[in-house]
């Protein structure tokens, strides 16, 4: 079957929690275009956090109501909108009853590691929002849509950086002569990453206890701006974060190179992570929705396509930048995080490819194209937001204001 056919998703009803965010918005449009009935659930808290901290998306994003209206004008397709908090069970239950999803894709969490380390209240908010939201989704499925497949965004950071190969979710261990397949050990490196470890444990428990259908996607760091659907109209443009709290490694380096700010490698730069293009994020979610997990048996996939160290990213952007007339530089910033700066890293990622993902790799002209695309917005960059202001060791109970 053609995954890009306009009726590829016929019969599927996908609720996208966090559908106003970076991954969620692109996914909502991707699935809507392919014939899935789509609804977005979002409380817009991410926009509030940006306002509170003085951040802006590099790309000028429209409000969610305007986005959805424009999508209908451009394509004739409807996206249902439920504005509310998944931690509010009455709201979530009502949305489930009204929309009756066959899949529920859960992106709707506080997703920044630095935000979660700003101070005690943000640490508590991150874990309350994320862990409680996921428990509510599990109860809503059990109560209102027991056949609904939960597709939950986890993170590669749940595994940390162990000195052995990282498997996809489970590892078979022989200990004192006995063998079992167990959840792979989790070592989150921030209160955010730990919230995902707690989510995974809660999901695994509910999957077994209530015979639910659940897939946990341990996603790597996402990069890029374009998807075919977000490119259809300027009002559909996706968000692109570059500040030191919500901006992620490659996306930040691309902007830094574009505005002549040296690329901010934290510490030695040997930190290695899995990465994927936003165009692959949306395809991975489609694959997950099309392949529901058997009830009672939680599937876990590692959702990234390539692994790079921070130094390797900076070197690739230096090379690509020179080809488009820039002169990218690198500085070493004292590492604000507590993490290994040189380590072994070899994570498996074959399961999504076995289900049909044909990865888009970060080679050829991709980085040059992204640099050119980002340079168009460079007047919107506030360079004061680039250097990190959140230090893991200094996180305290005194509320941080971030004003510089």
Which x/- pattern, by CB under 6 A, does the window 94-113 give for ligand NAD? -------------xxxxx--
Return the residue nearest ligand USQ (CB atom): 157
Contact 27, 105 (CB under 8 A): yes
Does 16 participate in binding ligand NAD (rule CB under 6 A)?
Answer: no
Of 9, 13, 24, 265, which lies in the binding site for ligand NAD, with binding defined by CB under 6 A? 24
Of the ranges 21-29, 313-321, 356-364, 384-392, which one interacts with ligand NAD (CB under 6 A)?
A: 21-29
Which candidate, 345, 349, 325, 334, places its Cα nearest to that of 389?
334
* Chosen residue from 13, 30, 67, 111 binding ligand USQ by CB under 6 A: 111
Task: Tell me if residue 192 is catalytic.
Answer: yes
Residue 295 a catalytic site member: no
H or E stretch at 331: strand 330-333
Task: Give the Cα separation of 141 and 206 in Å (integer).
Answer: 11
Spatial distance between the Cα atoms of 190 and 188, rounded to a whole number of angstroms: 6
279 sits near ligand NAD (criterion: CB under 6 A): no
> How does DSSP assign 101-162, residue by residue?
-SEEEE--S---HHHHTSBHHHHHHHHIIIIIHHHHHHHHHHHH-TTPEEEEEEEGGGS---
Give the separation between CA 183 and CA 200, rounded to whole angstroms: 10
SS3 57: coil
* Cβ-Cβ contacts under 8 Å for 358 (sequence gap 6 or more): none
Query: Annotated catalytic, 155?
Result: yes
Nearest to 313 by CA among 347, 375, 270, 346: 270
- Least separation in angstroms between residue 240's CB and ligand USQ is 13
Site string for ligand USQ, 66-105 (x = CB under 6 A): ----------------------------------------
Q: Contacts with ligand USQ: how many residues (CB under 6 A)? A: 20
120-to-109, 113, 124, 400, 404 alpha-carbon distances in Å: 18, 13, 6, 9, 20
Binding mask 112-141 for ligand USQ (x = CB under 6 A): xx----------------------------
Among 12, 219, 271, 311, binds ligand NAD (CB under 6 A): 219
Kindly state whether residue 248 participates in binding ligand NAD, applying the rule CB under 6 A: yes
Task: Name the active-site residue from 22, 115, 159, 192.
Answer: 192
Residues that bind ligand NAD (CB under 6 A): 18, 20-24, 42-46, 85-87, 107-111, 129, 133, 153, 155, 219, 221-222, 239, 248
Residues that bind ligand USQ (CB under 6 A): 111-113, 155-157, 220-221, 248-249, 252, 264-266, 271, 273-274, 310, 337, 339
């Amino acid at each position: 079957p053609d995954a890009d056919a306009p009726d590829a998703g016929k019969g599927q009803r996908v609720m996208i929690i966090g559908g106003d965010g970076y991954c969620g918005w692109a996914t909502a449009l991707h699935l809507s275009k392919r014939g899935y009935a789509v609804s977005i659930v979002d409380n817009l808290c991410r926009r509030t956090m940006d306002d509170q901290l003085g951040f802006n998306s590099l790309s000028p994003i429209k409000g969610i109501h305007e986005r959805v209206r424009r999508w209908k004008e451009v394509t004739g397709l409807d996206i249902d909108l439920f504005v509310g908090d998944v931690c509010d069970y009455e709201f979530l239950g009502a949305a489930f009853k009204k929309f009756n999803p066959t899949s529920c894709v859960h992106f709707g969490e506080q997703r920044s590691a630095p935000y979660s380390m700003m101070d005690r209240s943000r640490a508590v908010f991150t874990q309350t929002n994320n862990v409680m939201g996921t428990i509510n989704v599990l109860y809503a499925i059990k109560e209102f849509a027991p056949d609904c497949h939960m597709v939950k965004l986890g993170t590669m950071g749940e595994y940390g950086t162990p000195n052995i190969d990282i498997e996809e979710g489970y590892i078979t261990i022989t200990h004192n002569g006995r063998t079992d397949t167990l959840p792979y050990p989790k070592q989150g490196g921030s209160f955010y990453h730990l919230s995902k470890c707690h989510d995974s444990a809660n999901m695994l428990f509910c999957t077994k206890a209530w015979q639910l259908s659940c897939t946990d996607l341990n996603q790597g760091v996402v990069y890029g701006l374009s998807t075919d659907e977000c490119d259809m109209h300027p009002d559909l443009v996706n968000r692109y974060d570059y500040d030191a709290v919500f901006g992620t490694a490659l996306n930040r380096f691309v902007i830094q190179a574009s505005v002549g700010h040296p690329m901010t490698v934290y510490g030695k730069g040997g930190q290695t992570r899995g990465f994927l293009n936003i165009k692959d994020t949306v395809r991975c979610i489609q694959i997950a929705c099309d392949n529901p997990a058997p009830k009672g048996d939680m599937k876990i996939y590692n959702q990234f396509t390539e692994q790079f160290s921070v130094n390797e990213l900076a070197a690739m952007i230096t090379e690509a930048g020179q080809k488009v007339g820039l002169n990218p530089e690198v500085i070493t910033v004292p590492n604000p995080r507590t993490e290994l700066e040189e380590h072994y890293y070899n994570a498996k990622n074959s399961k999504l490819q076995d289900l049909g993902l044909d990865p888009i790799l970060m080679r050829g002209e991709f980085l040059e194209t992204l640099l050119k695309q980002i340079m168009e917005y460079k007047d919107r960059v506030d360079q004061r937001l680039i250097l990190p202001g959140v230090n893991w060791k200094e996180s305290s109970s005194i509320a941080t204001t971030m004003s510089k």
